[in-house]
Structure 1
Amino acid sequence: MAATDTVIIGAGPYGLSLAAHLNASGVPHQIFGKPMQAWSDFMPPGMLMRSEAFASSLYAPQRGYSMKDYCAHKGIRYQPVGMHLSRETFVEYALWFQQNLVSQIRTVEVLDMHRVEGKFHFSLSDGSSLVARRAVLALGLKGFERIPMVLDRLPREYVSHSCEYGNLDWVRDKDIVIVGGGQSALGLAALMHEVGGRIRVLARERNVTWNRTPNSTRGILSKLLKPEGGIGQGWRAHIIAEYPFLFRELRQQLRKEVVNSTWGPSGAWWLRDRVVDRIEVSLGSEVRHAAVENGRVVLRVAVDNQESQIEANHVIAATGFKTDMSRHVFLSNEIVQSMSLVDGVPELTRNFETAVRGLYVIGPASAYSFGPVMRFVYGAKYAAPHVARHISRLYRQDAQTPLTAGCSTATKTTINQAGR
């Protein structure tokens, strides 16, 4: 069985940023996953980034690898605020970052992960195995999508989640209902409308919240009064984005309330003109029943307790995500139970470590410990160097101890024979 010090599961913005820092620190590691897969394979062409360009950089241990640097390298006009940054440009930038800074990527999936005598053992989709001292879960929102029960009972050919989409050509001339009132619902509605779909949005909210159009020419006084915070303007956003360690000092229940109630459903400023007066948005809507009749989805929808019937070829649930680490099926029962989850969420140490020693969680799943910024690419600015420093310190402490130390004779033999 091959061995390394640290395994990173997930090759998105957080995983790539951490791998770049571990490279710089000289920590032996491997990273599993197809680089930027969720962004390249499951997000539709033409989508624009919700984050401002200055807040859409992966985080490198040295200068020269920001979004601004990439745009200069490619001759793309860069604007820190107010830039229409496409998903395509963001993915191309991230792959450029990876090609220059991260080489230890294996495009495999983890089929099984369990602990043996304090070490993590992995069974991989290419048939190989690996053992490591430490593991970092950097899987983004993968596996956490939430579909309301009333829709979840429908056959999968008639209902899907908004996170599952790449090419949208199949939508042309189809009746599509999108349930949700946030960026995912509104952005997907605009793109589907523009490829020729007949789109209707059912939003639970009474109003659609539109983000303000940014002012790229703000003066010094304006910036002092309302600084850019990576996730929005204002001192509250600035503090949450720049000082996640302060957020972690709040009571657990208060942290949960802040994460659940702030930076909620809203539409990006560049999206408003593509939705308003172009797409039917039914506010205050509740789907009470869903069924398939004669090859069509039939929904019973209530608005102010007045019910009506809506038919469609397909329903999309743009209803967000719910962190639940137990949904990662490759994790052994022993690891899941040892993480001390509360409603599926791990409580993390100041170093992003779970109750399982050596197991870290970064990205959106760490938001309940370090704040809403972890739901954005910008959070990698804090998470990647912080976790890398902790792992590097432990690696140097363990440098004189072979990975097989403390293992049983059978385990040592397996590791040593496979490593020859």
Structure 2
Amino acid sequence: MSFTDTAIIGAGPYGLSLAAHLKATGVNHQLLGQPMLTWRNYMPPGMLLRSEAFASSLHAPRAGFTVEDYCRLKGLPYEPMGMELPLERFVDYALWFQANLVGEIQPVDVASLRRVDGHFQLTLSDGRSLSARKVVIALGLKGFAQTPPALQGLPERYATHSERYGDLTWARGMDIAIVGGGQSALGLSALLHELGARPHVLMRESHVVWHGRPQASRSLVSKLKGPDAGLGRGWRSLFLSECPGIFHMLDDARRKQIMEKSYGASGAWWLHDRVVDKVKLSFRTAVRSASVDNGRVVLRVLTEGKDAAVGADHVIAATGFRTDMRQHAFLSKDIADTISGGTGLPELTSNYETLVRGLYVVGPASAHSFGPVMRFVYGTKHASPCVARHITGSLKAGERQAGWSAGEAPLSGRTNE
């Protein structure tokens, strides 16, 4: 059994940012997971980030580690707004951030997490065990994919969720039906079209909401009417981008209302010309049932109020995610039930701590408590320093023991201090 003050589960933007802050404060910690695994393996090459470049930086405990700093160091072009930021460049930036501020990561998954005698015991995928006083779950959207009931009975060969895609070259020359009308659906359709596939987007919406290309130079009056913010333009976006603490103070009904009406199905400015008049779009369309006939998927749909059939070689459900902590198989039942209150949504304090003391949740899974900014990399600027301060403060207040008890020792060769 090895020991640490804090175990961070997940090595994406939120896990890396928090680890950098904990390392800066001297808290003994272990970061568990493959660095940027989802971004590297389950997002298609050539994808562009939806966020503007200035809003795509991981949060560091000191200056000098933004996307702008990385581009300057590497001699790459940079514009805070209106610049296309490729997935590959963002991943390289995040790994550079890790190498400079985080250091070593344990490339393992967590098989189980349970509470024992005031500590957390973690069983790792390589067979080792780890005991921690604090645990932070920073797993992004992993495990929360939401697939429409009509598609759930199809074999994986014929239908999968958009969270599962990396390289798309397998689809060249194929008919691909994409269910959904948001950024994920539209982005996949553009990439598939450019690779030589024939995508067909089926969306419930009556039209696509296209965002205009942002303008870095605007008049003072224009900026006062609609200030630029991490989540977009406007005073509403500014509030949601910069005031997650105030959002947390709202009642559940108000928070739910804001979440449901903020940043719905839409397309980034750089997708418009790659989709319009190039990709087949069906509006006001709902999938009623799906079957396989002679090696092809047949979707029965209701489109524009009429029954129709859509054939495809494969169906991609770009239908979003629904946070449910009970989907994390590594959580013991008592922990999962306690933190989710029966809804699957983690109930969090203003410090991102769950109802299980010492267990925290950051990233998209915390969005219902702190707003839609947590669904984006920009949210690391709020979550990382807040959680690091709370962990450091609670340990200094007496939860850190004077020394490890007999037989305890930090994990040899894998500490982050």
Q: Would you say same fold, with TM above 0.5?
A: yes
Amino acid at match of 1:261: K
User: In structure 2, what is the equivalent of residue 264 of structure 1?
Assistant: 264
Amino acid at match of 1:183: Q
User: In structure 1, what is the equivalent of residue 391 of structure 2?
Assistant: 391
Residue 305 (structure 1) shift: 2.8
How far apart in 2 are the matches of 1:47 and 1:416?
44
Q: Is 1:199 the counterpart of 2:199 in the alignment?
A: yes
Aligned with 1:154: secondary structure?
Answer: coil
User: RMSD over aligned Cα, in angstroms?
Assistant: 1.7
Instruction: Classify 1:342/1:208 alpha carbon distance in 2 versus 1 (closer, same or farther; 3 Å).
Output: farther
Farther off after superposition, 214-223 or 281-290: 214-223
User: In structure 2, what is the equivalent of residue 273 of structure 1?
Assistant: 273
Residue 294 (structure 1) shift: 1.1
Instruction: Classify 1:246/1:95 alpha carbon distance in 2 versus 1 (closer, same or farther; 3 Å).
Output: same
Residue 403 (structure 1) shift: 7.4
Q: Is 1:327 the counterpart of 2:331 in the alignment?
A: no
User: In structure 2, what is the equivalent of residue 2 of structure 1?
Assistant: 2
How far apart in 2 are the matches of 1:400 and 1:279?
58
How far apart in 2 are the matches of 1:101 and 1:10?
16
How far apart in 2 are the matches of 1:340 and 1:278?
44
Aligned with 1:246: secondary structure?
Answer: helix
Q: Is 1:63 the counterpart of 2:60 in the alignment?
A: no
Q: Is the 8 A contact 1:112 1:332 kept in 2?
A: yes
Residue 342 (structure 1) shift: 4.8
How far apart in 1 are the matches of 2:342 and 2:213?
38
How far apart in 1 are the matches of 2:97 and 2:400?
33
Q: What TM-score, normalized to structure 2?
A: 0.96
Aligned with 1:292: secondary structure?
Answer: strand
Aligned with 2:4: secondary structure?
Answer: strand
Aligned with 1:105: secondary structure?
Answer: coil
What are the Cα deviations for residues 309-354 of structure 1, in whole angstroms up to 9, with x where unaligned?
1111100000000000000000001111221435210111000000
How far apart in 2 are the matches of 1:282 and 1:58?
37
Aligned with 1:155: secondary structure?
Answer: coil
Aligned with 1:64: secondary structure?
Answer: coil
What are the Cα deviations for residues 265-294 of structure 1, in whole angstroms up to 9, with x where unaligned?
110000000000001100000111100111
How far apart in 2 are the matches of 1:382 and 1:88?
25
What are the Cα deviations for residues 158-185 of structure 1, in whole angstroms up to 9, with x where unaligned?
0011111111111111110000000000
User: In structure 2, what is the equivalent of residue 369 of structure 1?
Assistant: 369
Aligned with 1:91: secondary structure?
Answer: helix
What are the Cα deviations for residues 87-146 of structure 1, in whole angstroms up to 9, with x where unaligned?
011000000000000014100000011110121001001111000000000000000010
Q: Is the 8 A contact 2:4 2:410 kept in 1?
A: no
Residue 401 (structure 1) shift: 1.9
Aligned with 2:8: secondary structure?
Answer: strand
Amino acid at match of 1:79: E
Residue 223 (structure 1) shift: 1.8
How far apart in 1 are the matches of 2:340 and 2:198?
46
Q: Percent identity?
A: 55
How far apart in 2 are the matches of 1:60 and 1:32?
19
- Aligned counterparts, 1:16-415, within 5 A: 16-398=16-398, 401=401
Residue 398 (structure 1) shift: 3.3
Residue 260 (structure 1) shift: 1.9
What are the Cα deviations for residues 210-257 of structure 1, in whole angstroms up to 9, with x where unaligned?
111111221333222211110011111111111110101110111012
Q: Is the 8 A contact 1:29 1:104 kept in 2?
A: no
Any unmatched runs of 5+ in structure 2?
Answer: 413-417
Q: Is the 8 A contact 2:324 2:344 kept in 1?
A: yes
What are the Cα deviations for residues 353-383 of structure 1, in whole angstroms up to 9, with x where unaligned?
0000000000001001100100010000010
Any unmatched runs of 5+ in structure 1?
Answer: 406-411
How far apart in 1 are the matches of 2:196 and 2:8?
41
Aligned with 1:339: secondary structure?
Answer: helix
Aligned with 2:228: secondary structure?
Answer: coil
Q: Is the 8 A contact 2:3 2:411 kept in 1?
A: no
Q: What TM-score, normalized to structure 1?
A: 0.95
How far apart in 2 are the matches of 1:263 and 1:233?
12
What are the Cα deviations for residues 177-200 of structure 1, in whole angstroms up to 9, with x where unaligned?
000000000000000010000110
Farther off after superposition, 340-349 or 233-242: 340-349
How far apart in 1 are the matches of 2:164 and 2:293?
24
Farther off after superposition, 379-388 or 298-307: 298-307
Q: Is the 8 A contact 1:133 1:403 kept in 2?
A: no
Residue 418 (structure 1) shift: 9.2
Aligned with 2:322: secondary structure?
Answer: coil
Q: Is the 8 A contact 1:177 1:200 kept in 2?
A: yes
Farther off after superposition, 193-202 or 253-262: 253-262
Residue 416 (structure 1) shift: 6.9
- Runs of 4+ residues over 4 Å off in structure 1: 402-405, 415-419
User: In structure 2, what is the equivalent of residue 409 of structure 1?
Assistant: none
Aligned with 1:73: secondary structure?
Answer: helix
How far apart in 2 are the matches of 1:327 and 1:78?
39
Q: Is 1:13 the counterpart of 2:37 in the alignment?
A: no
